[in-house]
A and B are shown apart, each in its own frame.
Chain A
Amino acid sequence: MRGATQARWAACAVAVVLTATACGGGDDGGGSGADGIVSSSWGDPQNPLEPANTNEVQGGKVLDMLFRGLVRYDPKTGEAQNEIAEKIDTTDSQNFTVTIKDNWTFSNGEKITAKSFVDAWNYGAALKNNQKNAYFFQYIDGYDKVHPESGKASADTLSGLKVVNGTTFTVKLSQKFSLWPDTLGYAAFVPLPQAFYTDHDAWLSKPVGNGPYTVDQYAKGSSMNLRRWDGYPGADKAQNGGIDLKVYTDNNTAYTDLTAGNLDLVDDVPASQLKNVEADLGDRYINTPAGIIQTLAFPFYEKAWNTPGAIKVRQGLSMAINREQITNQIFQKTRTPASDWTSPVLGEEGGFKEGLCGPACEYDKAEAKKLIQEGGGIPGGQLKISYNADTGSHKEWVDAVCNSINNALGNNKACVGGPVGTFADFRSQVSTQKLTGAWRAGWQMDYPLIQNFLQPLYYTNAPSNDGKWSNQEFDDLVDKANAESDKAKAVTTFQDAEKVLAEQMPVIPLWYQNGSAGYSDRVENVSLNPFSVPVYDQIKVK
């Protein structure tokens, strides 16, 4: 019986070990009140944290805390307001004079001058620096020299940028673009300190900026601790002591930690938890519109889709999709059915217009079938909607859209989903015009302007016009709107251009995406800005 006793002892040892961990872990909360530290979920940024090289939200979060530019978008309304800029003047919508306030410095004490901006922009635009956001500088005169479409750069700096004195510089654009100052809130346009160029590696491992926070500690791939910068000259000083960003394996584990009280803020509630979120968090759950629209795009490089009949087919397909039902059941109301090609975050003044798409975006089974038949049926007899299967659970809604279309047409094989294994492969196929059917497309705005929802996507040969749609009337209207010096007029002209989209239906608008977040009862005053990034500086610790 001795053997038996030993075994029992071993089993007990395990039980003891398990109970011993009972109060392990513990709370790492850092104080409370104005100096309280907020812990927040994070994902590993998919690029070094250079402002002109960051185009995804995880890196964007950090830049939003570390940097301020000439202009800042109001976290609530999205309206562009001067931050470092004293004024940005123009008489002809093409030549701008930028004057900056002279009380701004970087957190290392270096003064911010006109040169801080001009050097940073030249760096971002230059081909040799491989910055992903280089195309943001494309409107500045001389961009084709520093970043030619082929061959070597023939200039190092943008000829359109000139430093006048310490606080003034001039910008010459290559075309008229009246809303250009409103684009300057994007991270690519922030000023950079000298340390960025002189000791680049050191800067990357501990970025220095001019925003309300400074980097205290940065462990690549796992965490970043940001602390309030007391010397911050701006009006939007941080209301908390700092932010601890922690990388999680996915949004599920982050949500688990939030419900266990180990984390204060999760800015992406996993889809699988949306049903529980009310019970888990109550009113500590945010679900607000973000500047993201999801669409179905079509290949206009394929002859069959580029015919007058195909317009009717696309309109019919659009009417066959029951957006209301899909957003309610699959997305649990974290998407809103789309009825134009922009986003509600622009606001009425900014150019968002509900219902601009008209009946073509309303669900009407009978009319849908009629239109598709009139247009000669779906090219090829079947609509294949391609999507990437690895992220974002697209399969569910693509199948639902197909179901909806099949239902309307009374044909089980009218529409099928076409999964592509990885996002990398999917984007390769889309951007090299390999797809012959429709595909899921999404657009997250770079800056809250109606121009950003139209020009990069539908203008002839625009960088993100993957379907190669081209329409003279649309292009003319966009050009006209860009040249318009009055902002309100420019917006209505852009809306006129948008009406061309309603007539031609080059892409089918599906829904506007919301940003979601949940937070612990330790913090308050949590909100998301129009880019669905938490407004970190306003969070208060109880």
Chain B
Amino acid sequence: MGRYVARRLLQMIPVFLGSTLLVFSMMYALPGDPVRALAGEQTVDPQQIAAMKKELGLDLPLWHQYWNYLVGLFQGDFGTQIASGRPVADIISEAFPITVRLALFAFIFTVVVGISMGVFAGLKADTLRDRGLLVLTLLLISVPSFVLGFLGQYFFAFQLGWVQPNVSLEASSDELILPAVVLGSLSLAYVARLTRTSVAENLRSDYMRTAVAKGLPRRRIVGVHLMRNSMIPVVTFLGTDLGALLGGAVVTEGIFNVKGVGYNVFDALRHREGATVVGIVTLIVVVYLVASLVVDLLYAVLDPRIRYA
């Protein structure tokens, strides 16, 4: 187990290097000059632009820029923004806590509500409540998140007055609930459907019949025997989903004025702030890698037949 984790962690290094290089070269390949764009419609003399580029190291060839970036990164320096001169680390440390909270809320919402709904429907497959769940989740899957976002804003904030329509600068936790529900609703639908199918299938399996025959209480049959075996596909989905949630949701964050990772990446892309994009994307890659490792380890917990050496 320990060796397996160590091997997985070591594998992250080439993936990390590869992904930073990829994102870095993509940013480099984008047309347009971010330093030139700082001047807006005005014209700035070329010498000044050259001087600024030199200061920022943007006049060097791609490989050299990348090398400088990596060297800085290993010293804990994520680089600085071209326009504002702010360290990228500052931006990351401001954006990530908000996104982490938003993602956690959305995740908890997805897990609790999604799995409950799935079990609720799966236990009585092909009944009215099961059909109802399928229709409801189909609806959630097919409605784009910005429609849900605006609808949520309209009903809960403007009509009912339960919540504030926007998230304020402090991004207090109660303000994040509506965005989290909107953000989590798509995953919710998938989780509910996965759980439902898995539960419905496992209900017919041999070990379930054995458990019932042994005279175990129903709570134990459903809670331990059925659930544990039905969770593997759900956990796989949730693992990658957590990565996606942490990677930020540009649309949802935009609607609710959340200044999280998605907004910052989008903003940096628009202004061609290479260092910011690479820094944030790199972190997202790491989050994905860790999440998938945790998922793999969870398999062993859920199904003792799976072992890692």
Contact = CB atoms under 8 A, between A and B. Distances in A.
B169 A222 contact: yes
A162 interface: no
Contact of A132 (B39, B84, B169, B272): B39
B90 A220 contact: yes
A380 interface: no
A4 B172 CA distance: 33
A441 interface: yes
Interface stretch (A84-92, A246-254, A309-317): A246-254
Given A25-B174, A222-B259, A256-B153, A422 B41 contact: no
Interface string A5-20: 0111011011001111
A426 B39 CA distance: 12
A74 interface: no
Interface in B16-39: 30-34, 36-39
Interface residues of A, number: 72
Nearest to B164: A25
A221 B166 contact: no
Given A47-B83, A424-B37, A390 B94 contact: no
A148 B39 CA distance: 19
Contacts of A147: 45
A50 to B, nearest CB: 10
Given A48-B85, A221-B91, 11 more contacts: A2-B218, A11-B116, A25-B164, A127-B51, A132-B38, A132-B44, A222-B169, A249-B257, A249-B259, A253-B166, A262-B165
A33 B66 CA distance: 56
B75 interface: no
10 contacts: A13-B112, A18-B162, A24-B164, A47-B83, A219-B169, A222-B259, A391-B270, A427-B40, A431-B36, A466-B43
Contacts of B36: 424, 427-428, 431
B277 to A, nearest CB: 13
Contact of B48 (A11, A134, A254): A134
Contacts of A444: 41
A276 interface: no
Contacts of A11: 113, 116-117
Most chain B CB atoms below 10 A, which of A28, A132, A426: A132
B42 A424 contact: no
A97 interface: no
A425 interface: yes
A14 B106 CA distance: 12
A248 B172 contact: no
Given A10-B112, A127-B48, A427 B37 contact: yes
Contacts of B94: 221-222
Contacts of A56: 40
B302 interface: no
Nearest to A465: B43
Contact of A247 (B86, B254, B259): B259
Contacts of A223: 169
A24 B33 CA distance: 44
Contacts of A20: 174
Contacts of B30: 422, 425
A45 B83 CA distance: 8
A426 B32 contact: yes
A21 B45 contact: no
A334 B165 CA distance: 27
Given A2-B222, A21-B174, A44 B254 contact: no
B178 to A, nearest CB: 8
B27 to A, nearest CB: 12
A338 to B, nearest CB: 17
Contacts of B161: 22
4 nearest interchain CB pairs? A425-B32, A424-B32, A7-B120, A25-B164
Contacts of A496: none
